[in-house]
Structures are given as structure tokens and as C-alpha cells.
């Protein structure tokens, strides 16, 4: 019996090792940007949408063509996120400053325009902007803000908001530094959230019917002994096993974490430092797409978007926004 248990343990360990060791990292063609953010996989179009945040740019990687298309939003200096609109192939919601707007884009044209504004937040804080945003499994929008300036780590002026079709924008959470990664586990009724300035990932109980969150709990701590060495968590996604993947802005890696026990399962290393966000995609939803940044003069390949293959897991396609 003891030998049987040992053999089972070794077999399990080998299986785990084979799942975590043999991955491949490959850059997307012509994907270099100043600050890539907000990757969203659109299964219907087999395309990855994301933004070049500080220049108001939107990008689409076409999987079938293996090609990246870009567009510039006329008159806009910032684009924090881009999310397709349900039942309208050419409409997207985009975070522009403190506004959430609708733009029309065919996925090819080099320029586009804002068509209308859905809502605006923090009218008394003109120095703020939207940062990360996603739709929950029901198609609601969750979007967070932050101070846009050199004191972004010192001043907690951000907030997290929720919006759904037919309703008004609602405050979910205040006292936020840099609102960042968002992920939902529908099966376990959990919501995972990153405020970069807290250097941790929190879980919340999630009501899928109302979109309400409660009972926050720290599930992973990125702090080190010295504050200057703290790892900065950024964007986030989740796989079908319930494990989360957290981009780290100053550690050249994506952390795969089991949120149920807070265990680091894998550190997926990338060839550049500023890892900004992640999303699963591809025909089988088994490719991890990773956006990166080139802030503070970081040299190329900083700002490249990568695909990580061979992780032997699957994720979820992005959910379109219902308006």
C-alpha cells in the first residue's frame, strides 16, 4: 500500500511538472507599442483586442492572418481599455480619460472617432483616468480609476465602478490606489481584484445576479522585505481550473497562483520587464496572450505583445459588453 501511494504521488508530481515546464514564448508580429494594456479575446472574430494606452490607440491581432491592425481614436490622448459591444460587430467601448465612450471600428481602418459617451466619473478629479476594465460573466462593465501622474503610488484617489445596460454607473469600491487586474470564477462565485499599490490580490464573494461583492480576503501577497523590492501586480486572468494568472509590472513574469490556497504554481518568464496584462485566446483558448510596456525608456522588446504556448491549460474567451 505504501509503495502504491508513493507511485501515485510521483505520477502526480511528474504530471504537474510536465504542465508547468514546457512552455514557449513568441512575440506577435509588428506588435510593439509604448504601453500595451487590456487584452480581450473575441472568439467570434478569432482576434485579440488591446490598447496602446498613452497614445489613444487600439489594436487587433487577427489569429487567422497572424497580423496586427492598428487604429487611432481622433482627438483622444488616452485609451485604457477596449471591449467589444454585444450584437454589434463594429462597436467598442473604450476608456478615454475619465469617460467610457463608444467608437466604431471595422478592425482595419487606421483611424476612428468617438460616437457617444456612456458615462463619466470623478468629475471633481480631472487628473484621474480609467485604468483596467473588464466585463463580468453577465456582460456588466467593471472599470477602475487611478491618479494619472508622478504621485500615483502615494495618493489613493482611484475608485472601482460597475455599469450595466439600462442602469447608472455605481461605485463598487473607493480608497483605491491603482485599480488593476479583474477576474471572475463563476463556478466558485468569486471575484478577484488587484490594486497595484496594495501589492496583493484579494478575493471577494461575488453575487452573479447583482454584481455585488463582499468579504474581501487577501489570497496572495507580493510584498518583499524592503518596500523598494515589492513586486507590482498588474492585469489578471483565470483558467478553467480556477487558477489565476497575474502580470507583474516590475518582475518580467506572469505568476500562476492557486487562489484557494494562495500557492504560487508557476512563474512564467518573459523577455522584458514591464508585464502589464494577460488573456487566454486562440481557437482552443489555450494560448496566453501577454501585453507589456516600455515606460521609463525601457528598450525593445519592451512594449511587445507575446503569446505563451504549451501551458496545457485553457482559459475563457472575453465577454462582450451588453448595452
Q: What are the residue numbers of the active site?
A: 234
CA-angle at 199, arms to 198 and 201, nearest 5°: 90
298 assigned binding-site residue:
no
Cell numbers 439600462 correspond to 166
E strand spans, 137-252: 141-147, 158-163, 170-176, 179-185, 190-195, 200-206, 213-221, 233-238, 244-248
7 assigned binding-site residue:
no
The answer to whether 64 and 48 are in contact (CB under 8 A) is no
Q: Which residues pair with 71 in a beta bridge?
A: 58
159 assigned binding-site residue:
no
User: Whose CA is closest to 236, among 184, 307, 306?
Assistant: 184
Strand order across the 24-27 sheet: 24-27, 306-309, 287-292, 275-281
d(CA 43, CA 158): 32
88 assigned binding-site residue:
no
User: Whose CA is closest to 139, among 166, 117, 107?
Assistant: 166
The answer to whether 122 and 130 are in contact (CB under 8 A) is no
> Which ranges of 125-242 would DSSP assign to H, the alpha helix?
none
260 assigned binding-site residue:
no
CB proximity list for 270: less than 8 A, separation 6 or greater: 25, 252, 253, 254, 290, 292, 306
141-147 and 128-135 beta bridge pairing: antiparallel
The binding site for a divalent metal cation consists of 37, 180, 234
Binding-site positions: 37, 129, 131, 180, 234
Annotated binding-site residue numbers for substrate: 129, 131
Amino acid at each position: 500500500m505504501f509503495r502504491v501511494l508513493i507511485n501515485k504521488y510521483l505520477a502526480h508530481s511528474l504530471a504537474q511538472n510536465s504542465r508547468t515546464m514546457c512552455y514557449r514564448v513568441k512575440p506577435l508580429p509588428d506588435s510593439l507599442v509604448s504601453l500595451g494594456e487590456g487584452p480581450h479575446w473575441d472568439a467570434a472574430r478569432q482576434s485579440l483586442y488591446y490598447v496602446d494606452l498613452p497614445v489613444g490607440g487600439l489594436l487587433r491581432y487577427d489569429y487567422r492572418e497572424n497580423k496586427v491592425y492598428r487604429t487611432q481614436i481622433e482627438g483622444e490622448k488616452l485609451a485604457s481599455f477596449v471591449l467589444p459591444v454585444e450584437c454589434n460587430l463594429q462597436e467598442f467601448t473604450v476608456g478615454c480619460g475619465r469617460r467610457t465612450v463608444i467608437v466604431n471600428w471595422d478592425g482595419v481602418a487606421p483611424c476612428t472617432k468617438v460616437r457617444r459617451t456612456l458615462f463619466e466619473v470623478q468629475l471633481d478629479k480631472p487628473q484621474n483616468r480609467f485604468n483596467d476594465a473588464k466585463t463580468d460573466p453577465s456582460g456588466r462593465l467593471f472599470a477602475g480609476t487611478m491618479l494619472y501622474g508622478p504621485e500615483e503610488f502615494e495618493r489613493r484617489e482611484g475608485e472601482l465602478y460597475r455599469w450595466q445596460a439600462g442602469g447608472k454607473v455605481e461605485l463598487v469600491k473607493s480608497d483605491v490606489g491603482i485599480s488593476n487586474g479583474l477576474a471572475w470564477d463563476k463556478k466558485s462565485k468569486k471575484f478577484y481584484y488587484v490594486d497595484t499599490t496594495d501589492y496583493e490580490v484579494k478575493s471577494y464573494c461575488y453575487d452573479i445576479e447583482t454584481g455585488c461583492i463582499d468579504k474581501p480576503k487577501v489570497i496572495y501577497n507580493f510584498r518583499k522585505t524592503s518596500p523598494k523590492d515589492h513586486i507590482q501586480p498588474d492585469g489578471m486572468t483565470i483558467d478553467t481550473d480556477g487558477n489565476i494568472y497575474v502580470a507583474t509590472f516590475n518582475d518580467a513574469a506572469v505568476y500562476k497562483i492557486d487562489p484557494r490556497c494562495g500557492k504560487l504554481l508557476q512563474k512564467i518568464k518573459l523577455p522584458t520587464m514591464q508585464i502589464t496584462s494577460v488573456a487566454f485566446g486562440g481557437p482552443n483558448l489555450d494560448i496566453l496572450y501577454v501585453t507589456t510596456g516600455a515606460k521609463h525608456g525601457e528598450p525593445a522588446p519592451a512594449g511587445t505583445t507575446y503569446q505563451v504556448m504549451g501551458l496545457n491549460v485553457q482559459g475563457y474567451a472575453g465577454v462582450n459588453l451588453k448595452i
